[in-house]
């Protein structure tokens, strides 16, 4: 994971809010996918704010897109705020 990558999460009712900070690489993508699978499964809405990402590495986007099946089984709706990290096509 990029040394400066962080995910801040907040639950509000049936919604999960995630704010991503730092650089988004392959390990960061895996961390995000794990969090979505674990914490997003029982949420109606998941809001992912990517506006604080410094750099989105190609491999990070590739990890997300190649693991789209993890997102397909979620009963939630994923909404993005900020720059794209390849999840829009996967969700």
User: Which stretches of the chain drop beneath a pLDDT of 70?
Assistant: 1-2, 73, 75-76, 84-91
Give residue 86's pLDDT.
61
> Which three-class secondary structure state does DSSP give residue 67?
coil
Class of domain 6-90: alpha beta
Give residue 90's pLDDT.
46
Share of the chain above pLDDT 90, in %: 51
Measured in degrees and rounded to the nearest 5, phi and psi for residue 28 equal: -65, -40
pTM for this one? 0.85
């Amino acid at each position: 994971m990029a040394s400066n990558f962080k995910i801040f999460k907040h639950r509000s009712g049936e919604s999960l809010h995630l704010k991503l900070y730092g650089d988004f690489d392959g390990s960061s993508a895996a961390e995000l996918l794990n969090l979505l699978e674990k914490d997003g499964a029982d949420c109606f809405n998941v809001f992912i704010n990517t506006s604080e990402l410094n750099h989105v590495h190609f491999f990070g986007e590739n990890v997300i897109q190649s693991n789209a099946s993890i997102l397909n089984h979620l009963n939630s709706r994923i909404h993005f705020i900020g720059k794209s990290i390849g999840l829009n096509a996967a969700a």
